[in-house]
């Protein structure tokens, strides 16, 4: 009986491995930080890697048969499809390398409300990126060295390259000139 169970278990593992659903290579994480628009270029075409995003985590499915499924369309955020269909392939996706995260796109107008005052989160902008400094002691009450959260502090960053320690959560887009 035990031999039969072990044989079935090994047969199941063999089928999964040989079906190509699991990722065949583990690439070193590249720590990409992309917007959804930037993710689109990683569609597996023209020698580009095939990436998908689920819950803002970017997975490399270049070496997985997942890239041929309708659910896991390369270069896209597939969170909705995975959660709606309760995809059994989601477990296989977890075996693929994580290569980065998706960040949100903001306008400078949206950032202004995140000033760290009255319980509001504290976000700053530097060099076109948005950082959450809500839990950074130096930004207590939304101010640091005369600068206020909710605005562009790029000049401060040039004088003090502190951003490498902060959580990058977004990117600023300029409003289109209509």
Domains of the chain: which residue ranges? 23-102, 105-172
**CATH classification of 23-102 is 3.10.120.10, yes or no?**
yes
Reported residue count of the chain is 178
CATH number, domain 105-172: 3.10.120.10
pLDDT grade, residue 52 (50/70/90)? very high
pLDDT of residue 83: 76
DSSP 20-59: T-S-S--PPP--EEE-HHHHTT-BS-TT--BEEEETTEEE
pLDDT of residue 5: 54
What residues does 61 pair with on adjacent strands?
none
pLDDT tens digits, 33-43: 999 999 999 99
Q: pTM score, two decimals?
A: 0.71
């Amino acid at each position: 009986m035990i031999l039969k169970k072990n044989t079935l278990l090994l047969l199941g593992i063999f089928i999964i491995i040989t079906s190509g659903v699991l990722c065949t290579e583990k690439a070193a994480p590249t720590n990409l930080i992309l917007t959804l628009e930037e993710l689109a270029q990683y569609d597996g075409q023209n020698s580009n890697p095939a990436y998908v995003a689920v819950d803002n985590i970017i997975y490399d499915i270049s070496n997985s048969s997942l890239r041929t499924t309708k659910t896991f369309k390369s270069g896209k955020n597939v969170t909705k499809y995975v959660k709606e269909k309760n995809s059994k392939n989601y477990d296989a996706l977890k075996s693929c390398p994580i290569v980065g995260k998706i960040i949100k796109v903001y306008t400078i107008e949206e950032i202004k409300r995140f000033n760290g005052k009255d319980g509001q989160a504290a976000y700053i902008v530097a060099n076109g990126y948005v950082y959450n400094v809500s839990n950074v002691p130096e930004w207590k009450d939304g101010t640091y060295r005369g600068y206020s959260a909710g605005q562009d502090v790029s000049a401060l960053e040039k004088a003090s390259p502190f951003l490498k320690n902060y959580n990058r959560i977004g990117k600023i887009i300029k409003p289109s000139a209509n």
